[in-house]
Amino acid sequence: MEVAIATAAVVAMGTGNRVLYKLALVPLRDYPFFLAQFATFGYVVVYFSILYLRHQAGIVTDEMLSLPQKPFLAVGLLEALAAASGMAAGAVLSGASIPILSQTYLVWQLLLSAIFLKRRYRINEITGCFLVTVGVIITVASGSSAGASLKGTGILWPLLMIISFFLQAADTVLKEVIFLNAAKKLKGGSVDLFVVNSYGSAYQALFMCLLLPFLSKLWGVPFQQLPTYIRDGTACFLNMGSLSSGCEGAPLLPLLFVLVNMGFNISLLHLLKISSGVVSSLASTFSVPLSIYAFTLPLPYIGVASTLPPGFVAGAAVLTAGLLLYSFPQAQKTPGNPSAAGIPS
């Protein structure tokens, strides 16, 4: 039941995250890089504030805080590299092609967890993941020219986006390893997820600072003009001053996005902690068709609502079938029927 509730939270937060990101970019359409950096560095402040309060309350122990830092450093590096490569490829690829390429994330999850966590997946689980991937591709591709867009960009940028999702999958598997190793070091205890989130986000922010000249160039902001860009972005975010024209909806919409995105990351890590990276990935994937449907509703600031792609119902049906197949209960091993046992994942 706990996994089911956590999964529902991830799906709801994931859908809200996708919708609110689009809404947040309405007032900050000229400052997407500002929004990305505001979120990255804002998380460090919020996560460590929550960590401090939980430590004061005795929920987080000194033993948890003294866990080895190298794995958290690796988490931060993977997240920063994934963000950098994703931004680079995303600047060239069409918006319709990215959700299709993102389905490689689930493939990487299966492979990396099998290699590093020694997990073995049953046929119904592998088939279920495959159907989920196919369902998302049908849903997204039926309403766009994603295939033509991918052909037009060559092999380099799609490959770079696939590498970005590989790094994200590696990051997720590494977090699973951190939880497993922490349970051994804490003698059966469980490390608080805010320890993982806080340290990981701090190191990610550090590496993002080192990559700032490269990242600002990707967003079309010359590094020497970055202070002016941040100043103007702040004025638009606060919806104050002479630059506030066209920034209607700020700061409410950007703040809502940051809060929901934070809730999504926390719920995703919680689901990862109590289940597995593949389960959290499937839950996150389910938010794709839901967000497509959400954009057909009369949302504020968006303007004319979009229409459902022709293959939406078929894609959603295939995706749902894949989720049901993946979660199909495993036959229990009995003394009289040894062949009924499955291999745990």
Q: Does residue 108 have a pLDDT over 70? A: yes
What is d(CA 107, CA 221) in angstroms, rounded to the nearest whole number?
A: 34
DSSP letter at 117 equals S
Which one of 24-28, 74-78, 144-148 scores highest in mean pLDDT?
Answer: 74-78
Q: Does residue 341 have a pLDDT over 50? A: no
Q: How confident is the model over 280-326, as pLDDT tens digits?
A: 999 999 998 999 899 999 998 887 788 888 889 999 999 999 999 99
Q: How confident is the model over 228-279, as pLDDT tens digits?
A: 999 999 999 999 877 778 899 999 999 999 999 999 999 999 999 999 999 9
Stretch among 6-10, 110-114, 154-158, 163-167 having the lowest mean pLDDT:
154-158
Using alpha carbons, list the distances in angstroms from residue 277 to 1, 17, 137, 270.
18, 19, 21, 11
> How many percent of the chain have pLDDT more than 90?
70
Q: Are 312 and 289 in contact (CB under 8 A)?
A: yes
Tokens of 182: 């922490």
Q: Does residue 344 have a pLDDT over 70? A: no
